Structure 1
Amino acid sequence: MALDIAFELMMILTSACALIVSAWLFWRARGQRSMKALAGFGIMMALWCAGHVAVFHGLEALGAALILTNPLMPTFFLDFAIGFVNQGPGSRPWLNWLARRRSLFYSTSLLVILLSLLLTGGKVIEFGHFRHYFVFQGAGWFNIAYTVVIGILAHAILLWGFGIHRGNRRRSIAAMFAAGAWGLWLATSFIFPSMGLYWYPYPMLLLPSYIVLLVYGVVRYQMLEVNAWANRALLWTLMTLLVLGLIALLSSLAGQFGMQALANVPKWQLWLYSMLMLTLAVALYQPVGKLVERLIYPGIHLNEQLLDMWLARLRQANSWTELVTIAETLISRQMGQPVSVHLYQQGEALTHRTGINPAPRLICHHQPQGWRSQLAGWDDVTPGLRLAAEVFASLLATRCGVLERSLQLAEAERKRLAEQHLVELGGLSAAMAHEMRNPLNIISMASAGLDPDRKAMIQNQLKRADRLISDMLSYSGRIQIQRQPVRLKDLIDSLSHQFDWQQARLECALPAELVINADPYRLQQVFTNLIDNALAFVRNQDGGIIRIEAGERAGSIRVHNNGPALAPEMRHSLFRPFVSKRSGGSGLGLAIVRRIMDAHGGRIRYRNDLGWNVSFELLFPEGDHT
């Protein structure tokens, strides 16, 4: 191939690459001025290369005009450099000042181009392998000098940005400098004939690589699909070189193995045929791969959009119940049949009952190393649907771990706010108790001279007010636990004499040897509040009974009464403060019990499934009883 034709082909290829890359950049810019400026740089390079092609074909005036637009290339690059560096930590007032004067740089470049054209900044000569080659002269050297100055300014801004930025932006700037050094070496050979050095510009044959490397250096750290494209391009290039080498080796050895017909085929024909087959294989790889996937995994249509939709829906769950509901809806819709989802948190046993539930099940359970998923009852499901279920199960297990951490953080924050609220409430309650008890004492002393009925009525109300104040102090104060062994039956027996039982009776069915490791004073408050609360409803009832017994679980104590059953709307707010249906109650008794049980590391719960109208179950830690 003649060297002049090779040069022309490289100019055409560079122009085509620059236009394609610029169109793609402009499409992906999405309002980013810097990327649009880089696309403008590529367009100007395409026009500059087209100018050389026009000169080769005798269109000297058009070609010279396109080549002399040279200053617009670094001007667009300067615009890009200002916008690329002037972001985040690199933003500076002087960069903003330059950004506001972009139009001045463009106007100056257009003026330089116009002067170069009017003053004949170049001519077409013949040398070596070229019958038509453009060289600069006169005002053309001013054109070159201005181009170099603007290019130096743009790279100086990038160099400053390299010292300011970190991460991907810093890496992009480093890649741009590497591409710029490559481009400078390539372009230098183009100037030699203008300086009287009539050397063939061999480096210009590699010019198509400059625009590709420059743009790739800019966006490779910003756009994932660029790296995917580069991966495919590099793979195709390596495969091409490998095929060329194998064909050359096969052609040279064919004659020695008796394949003379193959040895006589020109190598360029073998290479061309191999390139066509390789290109066809690359083009058919993806559709054939999809066909094979459908044959191996029929009925499956997993794609990025489906996975994103699954993740988005699973993220909407803020509780375990919501997560199970959403997961069952998604996987059942994908499978086309009902699928049940089971979540097992740490401490709960995971059991499998084969044959009990034939429907497919998706199970996630917590293990020391994290959440794990498994499928059960999927033996009759096609491989494609099973693969989709495995992918979904993996996403669900990941979401379980995220939700668990989220709920733990929310619970920790709730406890912190509750503690802070109680500290504030404790200070307020102490101040109120002090201020309220003073006038109550005065009222008590003033009632001493009244008749017995009035005095008894006032004293009863004063006791009620004092009990309310004591409950407020108990609920809002800091509860400190001093554990020691307590015989629970003896404690209950000592409390039974403090109450006015009237027609009700107390049944204590606790074993005499039952010992709870707890704070005796706080434990006394718990049973006093529970018995007092129950007496308010069974005291004037025929056959009223309060029964205290040990539960089935170790550390479980149950307090029953046969008073009226609780309304369903009351059950969810039983242990909240100031919630009471009891006449004369403060609404703090059960709330205090819950706080004391929390301080012991236990809990209290209401139950109506034990054969009694009302039952409260105290659950102490298993190690706190004997």
Structure 2
Amino acid sequence: MSRCDAYDSWEPENMLWLWFLLGVVFSGPLWLAVIWYARRIRAGRLHPDRRANESLAELSQIVGGLAHEIKNPLSTINLNLELLSEDIRRHDDEEHRRLTRRLSIVQNEADRVRQILDDFLRYAGHYELSLSNVDLRDVVSELRDFFLPQAEASGAVLRTTECSDPLPCRLDVKLFKQAVLNLLLNATQAMPNRGELLVKVSRNNELSCVEIIDTGTGIPPEQLETIFQPYWSTKKGGSGLGLPTARRILREHGGTMKVESDVGKGTRFVLSVPLRKTPTKKG
């Protein structure tokens, strides 16, 4: 069989085997985990409280392991797709350019699956916090400098305000920045016609707070709780795990995340974490 004959097999009607294989690889193990959990419930082996929590933790560990296992063949698929694409691009004619475009679609979908798996592992994985003593003002200042170019590129005006007193906290700085960054990205995406993004750092009794306020489209009242549900998203191509992951990171730090919104005016997220207790100096 000639090389052109082989490329003809990439016609849509001849690619059903590929889509079937990808579907089995990506969805099969997750469905097995769901079926396993359903059978546990049906068998009456779960206690309403402690046993249920233990089983949920066990299921999370199993599904996380399955996600890691899916990434292994996915890496092989991506590598072979790239090699095949390089081979096809050596031929500069319309037929091979058409094949390259179709192969690019498959590569993009495989990359999207990888991103979904990465987002899921960040959400469902076990967090081992690497805590350090920091001033929350410094953490937010570093994140502001990092995010400023992206805010300007999106047309948003980024402003920050902070209190004058230190805000000593014990944070996993990397994870905490990830939570705040998720909210900053959501805020800029909620302001398609430019807008103002305010990041406010303050103290509230024994809590240190970060407020993220945008002048975007706002969130309808009936969606204010729904937005924290995994895989719920109104954005095309969104994973629906950004907000649930951010809230989980706050909870891992013993903190909270609250949201207020007015449709057509904007949204305000408040992230609160406990202040670190410092020993009082004896006079």
Tell me, yes or no, whether TM beats 0.5: yes
Query: Distance in 1 between the 2:60 and 2:245 partners?
Result: 12
Q: 2:117 aligns with which of 451, 465, 469?
A: 469
SS of equivalent residue, structure 1 residue 555: strand
- 1:548 aligned onto 2:199: yes
Q: 2:212 aligns with which of 559, 563, 574?
A: 559
> Does the C-alpha gap of structure 1 residues 515 and 584 become closer, same or farther in structure 2, counting only changes over 3 Å?
farther
Query: Distance in 2 between the 1:612 and 1:411 partners?
Result: 42
Query: Distance in 1 between the 2:63 and 2:259 partners?
Result: 27
Query: Distance in 2 between the 1:461 and 1:435 partners?
Result: 15
The aligned amino acid for 1:617 is: V
The residue that corresponds to 2:10 in the other structure is none
Q: Using the TM superposition, give the Cα deviation of residue 461 of structure 1 relative to its aligned residue in structure 2, in angstroms.
A: 5.5
Q: 1:507 aligns with which of 159, 167, 185?
A: 159
Query: Distance in 2 between the 1:623 and 1:462 partners?
Result: 44
The aligned amino acid for 1:541 is: N
> Does the C-alpha gap of structure 1 residues 506 and 499 become closer, same or farther in structure 2, counting only changes over 3 Å?
same
Q: Using the TM superposition, give the Cα deviation of residue 423 of structure 1 relative to its aligned residue in structure 2, in angstroms.
A: 1.5
Query: Distance in 2 between the 1:418 and 1:624 partners?
Result: 34
Query: Distance in 2 between the 1:560 and 1:411 partners?
Result: 38
The aligned amino acid for 1:505 is: V
Q: 2:128 aligns with which of 474, 480, 483?
A: 480
Contact 1:488-1:514 within 8 A present in 2 as well = no
Q: Identify unmatched segments of 5+ residues in structure 2.
A: 1-46, 90-95, 279-283
Query: Distance in 2 between the 1:460 and 1:507 partners?
Result: 35
Provide Cα deviations, 1:118-171, integer angstroms capped at 9, x if missing partner.
Answer: xxxxxxxxxxxxxxxxxxxxxxxxxxxxxxxxxxxxxxxxxxxxxxxxxxxxxx
Contact 1:549-1:558 within 8 A present in 2 as well = yes
Structural mapping, 1:563-602, within 5 Å: 563-602=216-255
Contact 1:480-1:599 within 8 A present in 2 as well = no
Q: Using the TM superposition, give the Cα deviation of residue 460 of structure 1 relative to its aligned residue in structure 2, in angstroms.
A: 6.1
> Once the two structures are aligned, what percentage of the paired residues are identical?
23
Query: Distance in 1 between the 2:275 and 2:241 partners?
Result: 27
Q: Using the TM superposition, give the Cα deviation of residue 462 of structure 1 relative to its aligned residue in structure 2, in angstroms.
A: 5.7
Q: Which has the higher strand share?
A: 2
SS of equivalent residue, structure 1 residue 491: helix
Q: Using the TM superposition, give the Cα deviation of residue 446 of structure 1 relative to its aligned residue in structure 2, in angstroms.
A: 3.8
Q: Using the TM superposition, give the Cα deviation of residue 551 of structure 1 relative to its aligned residue in structure 2, in angstroms.
A: 4.3
The aligned amino acid for 2:199 is: I
SS of equivalent residue, structure 1 residue 608: strand
Contact 1:475-1:591 within 8 A present in 2 as well = yes
The residue that corresponds to 1:620 in the other structure is 273
The residue that corresponds to 1:439 in the other structure is 77
Query: Distance in 2 between the 1:463 and 1:578 partners?
Result: 18
Provide Cα deviations, 1:365-410, integer angstroms capped at 9, x if missing partner.
Answer: xxxxxxxxxxxxxxxxxxxxxxxxxxxxxxxxxxxxxxxxxxxx97
Structure 1 vs Structure 2 CA RMSD:
3.4
Q: Using the TM superposition, give the Cα deviation of residue 510 of structure 1 relative to its aligned residue in structure 2, in angstroms.
A: 3.1
The aligned amino acid for 2:201 is: A
Structural mapping, 1:204-223, within 5 Å: none
> Does the C-alpha gap of structure 1 residues 445 and 510 become closer, same or farther in structure 2, counting only changes over 3 Å?
farther
Provide Cα deviations, 1:318-346, integer angstroms capped at 9, x if missing partner.
Answer: xxxxxxxxxxxxxxxxxxxxxxxxxxxxx
Higher relative contact order (CA 8 A, sep 6+): 2
Query: Distance in 2 between the 1:624 and 1:545 partners?
Result: 35
Q: Using the TM superposition, give the Cα deviation of residue 490 of structure 1 relative to its aligned residue in structure 2, in angstroms.
A: 3.1
The aligned amino acid for 1:437 is: S
Decide which structure has the larger Cα Rg and report it: 1
* Count of residue pairs brought into register by the alignment: 213
Q: Using the TM superposition, give the Cα deviation of residue 596 of structure 1 relative to its aligned residue in structure 2, in angstroms.
A: 1.1
The residue that corresponds to 1:519 in the other structure is 172
Structural mapping, 1:279-298, within 5 Å: none
The residue that corresponds to 1:356 in the other structure is none
- 1:426 aligned onto 2:64: yes
Structure 1 residues 599-608 or 487-496, which shifts more?
487-496
Structural mapping, 1:398-417, within 5 Å: 415-417=53-55
The aligned amino acid for 2:212 is: V
Contact 1:606-1:614 within 8 A present in 2 as well = yes
TM-score by length of 1: 0.31
> Does the C-alpha gap of structure 1 residues 473 and 624 become closer, same or farther in structure 2, counting only changes over 3 Å?
farther
Q: Which has the higher helix share?
A: 1
Q: 1:489 aligns with which of 134, 140, 153?
A: 140
